[in-house]
């Protein structure tokens, strides 16, 4: 199962980024340039979902 990784940003040393990886993104139907939204589930977990023009994709990563 593909997993996201926290890595150092090569363009901004000392900063971190969440690397979703190509396999995970392809499995979710996400592409470079897509707009993603973080939603706080108010229980310590987050939902990351792809924003579409009028609503949100049903493919998402839950409990990050």
Q: What confidence tens digit (pLDDT) does each residue in 5-64 have?
A: 999 999 999 999 999 999 999 999 999 889 999 999 999 999 999 987 655 555 556 555
State how far the alpha carbon of 62 is from the alpha carbons of 8, 14, 30, in Å: 23, 27, 15
Number of CB atoms found within 10 A of residue 11's CB: 7
Q: Number of C-alpha atoms within 13 angstroms, CB side, residue 5?
A: 8
pLDDT at 62: 56
State how beta strands 16-19 and 35-40 pair.
Answer: unpaired
pLDDT at 1: 79
């Amino acid at each position: 199962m593909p997993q996201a990784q926290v890595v150092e940003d090569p363009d901004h040393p000392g900063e971190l980024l969440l690397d979703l990886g190509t396999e995970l993104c392809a499995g979710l139907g996400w592409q470079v340039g897509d707009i993603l939204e973080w939603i706080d589930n108010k229980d310590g977990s987050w939902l990351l979902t792809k924003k579409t023009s009028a609503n949100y994709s049903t493919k998402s990563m839950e409990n990050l």
